[in-house]
C-alpha cells in the first residue's frame, strides 16, 4: 500500500478561490448546461438539481458532502491531484469520492489533461446521488483492491473508462450521456451522440474488459447500457474467472465492432 487517504487529502479552502476562478466555473457550467439539456440522462440531471450545484460559482465541498451523505452515504474527499491506485480504490470502497480542488485556466477551457474540480464535481458527483450508481461505484472500488492482488488493473481500468468516464445509456427518449468525461467536454457530447464516426455498442462486460482506449482524442467506441441496474448486475459477479478468460483473448481495438454485436446509430 502506498499510503492512506488521509496522507493525500487537503483542505479545499473555499474562501481562497478568486473571482476569476469562479468566473471560469460559471462559464463552463453555463456552456455545458445548454448542451446537456436533452443529452444527459435523467439520473444525472436529477442529481445535479438535488445537489444544488449551480452557475454562481465553485461549490463548497462541505455543503455538497452533507447533501450526498444524506442521499447515498457518499462524501467528497478533497485531494491535490491524482492519488495512487490503492488509495483511489480504498476511497471509493468507503464511499468517498476524491476530487481535485483546482480549476482550469481560461486557456484550458476545451481540454485539460488531468481532472480539475469542474470535471470531478460537475461530471462525477451528480451521479453519486443515484442509489444504484452509488453502489456501483463502491463495488468498483472494492473490485479495484482485488484486481491489484491479481495484477488485473489494466483490464479493470477499461471498465471505469467505458462506464464512469464515457458511458452512454439507452432510454425511451434515445441515447443519453452518464459518463463524466463526456459531461465535462463540449466536443465529446456532440461526438458521442450525434457523430456517425464512433461505434456505439451494447454493453457486455467481457467485451469492455478487452477493449483498449485512447486518452488524447475523442472516443472511437462507446458502450451503451440499458439501465444502471443492468450495469450493477453485470459487474457484481466475481471477476476472477473473467480476468482469466479475457487475458487469454486478444485485445480489441476501439475502431472495430465484432460480428453480431448490437450497435446503436447516431442520435
Active site residues: 119, 124, 165, 184
In DSSP notation, the chain reads: ----GGGTB----GGG--HHHHHHHHHHHHHHHHHHTTTB-HHHHHHHHHHT--TTSPPPHHHHHHHHHHHHS-EEEEESS---HHHHHHHHHTTEEEEE-----GGGSS--SS--HIIIIIIIGGGGGSHHHHHHHHHHHHHHHHHHHTT-HHHHHHHHIIIIIT-EEEETTEEEE--HHHHT-HHHHHHHHH-SSSEEEE--HHHHHHB---SSS--SEEEEES-HHHHHHHHSS--HHHHHHHHTSPPBPTT-PPTT--B----
Extract the C-alpha cell encoding 128: 453519486
Extract the C-alpha cell encoding 120: 470531478
Extract the C-alpha cell encoding 108: 484550458
Amino acid at each position: 500500500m502506498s499510503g492512506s487517504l488521509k496522507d493525500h487529502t487537503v483542505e479545499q479552502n473555499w474562501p481562497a478561490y478568486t473571482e476569476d476562478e469562479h468566473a471560469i466555473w460559471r462559464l463552463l457550467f453555463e456552456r455545458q448546461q445548454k448542451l446537456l439539456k436533452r443529452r444527459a440522462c435523467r439520473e444525472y440531471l436529477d442529481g445535479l438539481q438535488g445537489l444544488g450545484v449551480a452557475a454562481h460559482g465553485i461549490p463548497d465541498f462541505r455543503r455538497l458532502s452533507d447533501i450526498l451523505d444524506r442521499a447515498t452515504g457518499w462524501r467528497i474527499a478533497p485531494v491535490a491531484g491524482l492519488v495512487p491506485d490503492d488509495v483511489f480504490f480504498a476511497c471509493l470502497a468507503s464511499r468517498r469520492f476524491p476530487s481535485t480542488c483546482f480549476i482550469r485556466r481560461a486557456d484550458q477551457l476545451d481540454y485539460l489533461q488531468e481532472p480539475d474540480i469542474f470535471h470531478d464535481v460537475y461530471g462525477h458527483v451528480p451521479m453519486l446521488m443515484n442509489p444504484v450508481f452509488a453502489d456501483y461505484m463502491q463495488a468498483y472500488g472494492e473490485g479495484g483492491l482485488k484486481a491489484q492482488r491479481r495484477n488485473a488493473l489494466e483490464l479493470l481500468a477499461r471498465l471505469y473508462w467505458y462506464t464512469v468516464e464515457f458511458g452512454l445509456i439507452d432510454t425511451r427518449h434515445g441515447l443519453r450521456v452518464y459518463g463524466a468525461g463526456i459531461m465535462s467536454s463540449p466536443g465529446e457530447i456532440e461526438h458521442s451522440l450525434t457523430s456517425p464516426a464512433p461505434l456505439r455498442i451494447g454493453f457486455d462486460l467481457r467485451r469492455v474488459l478487452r477493449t483498449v482506449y485512447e486518452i488524447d482524442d475523442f472516443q472511437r467506441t462507446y458502450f451503451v447500457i440499458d439501465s444502471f441496474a443492468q450495469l450493477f448486475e453485470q459487474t457484481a459477479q466475481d471477476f476472477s474467472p473473467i480476468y482469466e478468460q479475457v487475458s487469454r483473448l486478444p485485445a480489441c481495438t476501439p475502431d472495430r465492432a465484432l460480428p453480431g454485436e448490437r450497435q446503436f446509430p447516431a442520435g
